[in-house]
Amino acid sequence: MSQTDDQKSAGRTATVVQVRESLVLIQIDDDASVMKNEVGYVCVGDERLKAEVLRIRGRTADMQVFEDTTGVRVGDRVEMTNEMLSATLGPGLLGRVFDGLQNPLHDLAQQHGFFLPRGVSVEPLDMDQRWEFTPAVSVGQRVAPGGVLGTVPEGPVTHKILVPFGESDSVTVTWIAEGKHSLSDPIARIESAGQERDVTMMQRWPVRRPVPGSLLRRNFAQRLYPQEPLTTGTRIIDTFFPIASGGTGCIPGPFGAGKTVLQSTIARYSTVDVVLVVACGERAGEVVETITLYPETEDPRTGGTLMDRTIIICNTSSMPVAAREASIYMGVTLAEYYRQMGLSVLLIADSTSRWAQAMRETSGRMEEIPGEEAFPAYLDSSVKNVYERAGVICCPDGSQGSLTMIGTVSPAGGNFEEPVTQSTLGTVKTFLGLSYDRAYKRFYPAIDPLISWSRYLDQLAPWLGENLDADWIGDVKRLHELLQQGESINQMMQVTGEEGITLEDFITWQKSVLVDMAYLQQDAFDDVDACMPRDRQLESLRLLIRLIDRDDEFDSREEVRELFTRLIGLYKNWNYSAPGTPDYESYREQIEAIASRS
C-alpha cells in the first residue's frame, strides 16, 4: 500500500543541531534521506526559511539558508522537499526583476511593502494571465525532449513551448490544444514508455544542472563550435578583441573604471534577442540605477524599451550570502531556457568577484581547507562550471541558439593577479581589461589595448574574411603592433622628452595616438558614436589604414603634430556624423583628401 503525501512529508524531516550565521547543521531523521543541493525549509514559528543542502556527512548535513537566521535554534524542525533548487520556466519571464531565488521583487513589494519579510515567497510567473497558444505539432507526431510543441507571443520574441527537458526519449503527442490558456492549463498530452501525462506551458529545472545536460545526444540538441562574432557596436571590442556569439568574455577593472557603463552599452546595442543581467553582489545604488535605466532606455532593435527583452536577477551586496551565491546559477538557467528556443541570448554577470566572495564566506563557515586568499580550493572549477554553460546549440527543430556570457570582475585595487581574476582568465576567451589611468583621462571605453586580448580573433577569421575584408585580421594585428610601439616611444619620451627621440619615432607615436583617439574611443552619450555598425567600422578601418600607411616627409615635429591633431579632430567629428548627412560626407572627403595626398 503506497504512502499518502502527508506520510511522505512526515518522513522527510530533519532537526537543527548547530547554527553558524547563514549555515545550519542538521541531523537527518532515521527514516529520511537527503541529497546534495536539495531544498529544505527551516521552521521558525510560522516562518519557513528556504535553505539548500551543501554537504552531507553520514546522518548530518550542512545547509545554507537563503535568509536571515535570527531566531533559528537548536531543535528546530527542517522540512525536506526532495527537490533541488530549481527555476520555473515559461512565458512571462521577460521584463521582470527577480531575486536569486526567482521571487519577483515588484510583486513582493506590492504584497508586503518595501521591507520584505523573511520566509515569504511569490510565484515567479503570473498564473492568471492567459496566453495565445498556437500548436506547432499534430496528434501522433513524435517530438524530442526540448522539441517545440507550440508558440506564444511574449513581447518582442516568439516564445516556444518545449517538451520538458527531463524526458529520457522522444515522446508521442496524443492531444494538443490551441487558443488562450493560463500557465497551469494543459496544452498537450504526451506518451512515453506507455504512460500518458499532461504538459503545461511551464516546467521546472534545477539551476545547478546545465539545461542541455542529457540532451547532448543524437537527434537531440547538439553543441556547435562558435563561428560568428557578437556585434556590440563598440569599435575596440568588435575590431580588436571580438567576442564570439556563444562565447565567453570578462571585463575586469578597478572601481570607477566604467564597467557598469560598458556593460549597459553592450546590453543595449549587441545583436542578441534576449538580455539577462545578473547583479550578483553589486552595491544597491548601482543595481537601482540598472533597474530604473532599462525601462527608460529605447531599444534600437525593437523600438520599445530595453526592459521588454531583458530579465534582471537582483541580489545586492547587502542581501544574504547564500542568495547571492545562487543568483548566478538562476540567471544562467533562465538564459539557457531561451537559448533552447533558438534565440541569441546575452548574459552579463556583475560582479563575479562578489559571487566568489559569497562562496568564500560559506566555505569558511563550513571549515573547508582554504585556497589562495582564503577562497575555496574549488574556486577555479566553480568559475569554469559557470562559464562552460555558454555556447551555441542546434535545437531539435533545426534552429540555432546561442548563449554569450560576459562577467565583470572587481579586483581590489585593480590587481589582476588576485585569484578570481586569474581563474576567470583561465576560462574565458576574451579579456577586456579596464585601466584606471585611461578612465582617469576620460577615455571611454577604458579598455587598455595593451593588456587586453581575444582568442576569438583567429577563430573568427573565416567569417570576418568572408563578410568584411580578407585583410581584416592582418590589419588589426598591424594596428595593435603600432599601439605597442607607440607606448614604448611614449615611455621613452617621459624620460628624455620629445627631443630625445628621432623624428621617425615621433611620427610613429603620433600615428598610434591617432588610432587610439580616433578609433578606439567612443562617446557613450552621442546617439551616433555610441554604436557603430560593422559596415561603418570596416569603412573607418580601411581609411585609417590608408592614413597610417602614408610615408610623408616632415621638416619638424610641429608640422607632424599639426597634421595629426587636425586628423584626430576630423575623425572625431566624422564619428559623430550620421551616414548620409552633409557633415558625414564633408568630413569624410577631408580625411580622404589627406589620405590621398602624396
284 annotated binding-site participant = no
Task: Specify the pLDDT at position 215.
Answer: 44
Task: Specify the pLDDT at position 4.
Answer: 35
Main-chain dihedrals φ then ψ at residue 436, nearest 5 degrees: -65, -35
From residue 139, give the alpha-carbon distance in Å to each of 132, 174, 180, 530: 19, 5, 19, 50
CATH for 9-84 is 2.40.10.170
Q: Are 278 and 247 in contact (CB under 8 A)?
A: no
259 annotated binding-site participant = yes
Buried b (16+ CB within 10 A) or exposed e, 429-449: bbbbbbbbebbeeebbbbbbb
- What is the strand order of the sheet 142-143 is part of? 142-143, 171-176, 188-192, 195-199
CATH classification number, 89-108+225-455, choose in 3.30.460.80, 3.30.70.20, 3.90.480.20, 3.40.50.300: 3.40.50.300
Domain ranges of the chain: 9-84, 89-108+225-455, 126-201, 472-596
Task: Specify the pLDDT at position 9.
Answer: 44
257 annotated binding-site participant = yes
255 annotated binding-site participant = yes
258 annotated binding-site participant = yes
Beta bridge mates, 135 = 150
CATH class of 126-201: mainly beta
> pLDDT tens digits, residue range 279-314?
887 666 677 778 888 888 888 888 899 999 999 998
* Alpha-carbon span 100 to 156, nearest angstrom: 25
The secondary structure element, H or E, covering residue 465 is helix 461-467
Spatial neighbors of 248 by CB under 8 A, at least 6 apart, are 387, 390, 404, 405, 406, 407, 427, 428, 429, 430
* Alpha-carbon span 131 to 152, nearest angstrom: 6
In this structure, which amino acid lies at residue 337? Y
Task: Specify the pLDDT at position 214.
Answer: 38
249 annotated binding-site participant = no
Task: Specify the pLDDT at position 2.
Answer: 34
In this structure, which amino acid lies at residue 216? L
| 8-state DSSP, 513 | H
How many helical (H) and strand (E) elements, i.e. helices and strands, does the chain have?
17, 26
From residue 282, give the alpha-carbon distance in Å to each of 279, 353, 409, 433: 6, 9, 11, 19
1: its cell numbers = 500500500
Which residues of the chain have a pLDDT value below 50? 1-10, 213-216, 218
254 annotated binding-site participant = yes
Q: Which fold has domain 472-596?
A: 1.10.1140
Stated length of the chain = 598
* Alpha-carbon span 249 to 157, nearest angstrom: 25
Indicate if the alpha-carbon torsion angle 573, 578, 583, 587 is positive or negative: positive
572 annotated binding-site participant = no
